[in-house]
Structure 1
Amino acid sequence: MSKWTDVRDAIVKELNVENVTEEVKQRVTRTILNEGIPFVEVVVDKFVGKTKEQAKTESGWCYLRDAFVLPMVLQGAVWGIKLVLEKSLTPTVTK
């Protein structure tokens, strides 16, 4: 099976529960962080690498898109999602 299938199956397994408790949410979050995010990071890095390589032959707006905009948006989105998920694993005190 492919890595994506393994990631999908792990997430589906974690979501297949009767009661959604804090423990379940923590497990799903950890599964996404440990199984999903690394896979997405590899795909994004590969795409960004190819885009930056192609930027060398571009000019004008296409150069800016390929050299800066797409890499920043994609890598920034992955970074932001990872940050939020990591922070959500830290227990919070509710009053």
Structure 2
Amino acid sequence: MSKWTDVRDAIVKELNVENVTEEVKQRVTRAILNEGLPMIEQVVDKFVDKIKEQSKSESGWCYWRDAIVLPTVMQGAVWIIKMVLEKSLAPTVKAYA
């Protein structure tokens, strides 16, 4: 079974509960941070490496798209999601510790 299937099954298991407690929300957030985001980061990094390499043979708007815009948007989105999840997890861990 693939790692993605394991991650998906773990998240589905966590979400299939009668009572959504703070602990459940923390576990789901941790699962996304520890298992989901690293895989997404790897995929984004591979894609960015390829389009940056291709940008060397592009010109005009296609160069700027491949060299600057897409890499910044994609890596920036992953960074923002990771930061928001980490920051939202920290206060709840302190409050319930």
TM-score (norm 2): 0.91
1:22 aligned partner: 22
Instruction: Kindly report which structure 2 residues correspond to 1:1-95, keeping only aligned pairs within 5 A, or say none.
Output: 1-91=1-91
The secondary structure found in structure 2 opposite 1:79 is: helix
Q: Structure 1: any 5+ residue segments left out of the alignment?
A: none
Could you tell me the percent identity over the aligned residues? 82
The secondary structure found in structure 1 opposite 2:27 is: helix
After superposing on structure 2, the runs of 4+ consecutive aligned residues of structure 1 that deviate more than 4 Å are: none
Report the structure, 1 or 2, having the larger helix content. 2
- Give CA deviations for 1:22-47 in whole Å, capped at 9, x if unaligned: 11100000000001000000000000
Q: Distance in 2 between matches of 1:49 and 1:6?
A: 27
Q: How far apart are 1:91 and its partner, in Å?
A: 2.1
Q: Distance in 2 between matches of 1:35 and 1:87?
A: 17
Q: Structure 2: any 5+ residue segments left out of the alignment?
A: none
What value does the CA root-mean-square deviation take over the aligned residues?
Answer: 1.1
Q: How many residue pairs are counted as aligned between the two chains?
A: 93
Report which stretch shifted further, 7-16 or 21-30. Answer: 7-16
Q: Distance in 2 between matches of 1:81 and 1:17?
A: 24
- For 2:42, the aligned partner's letter is V
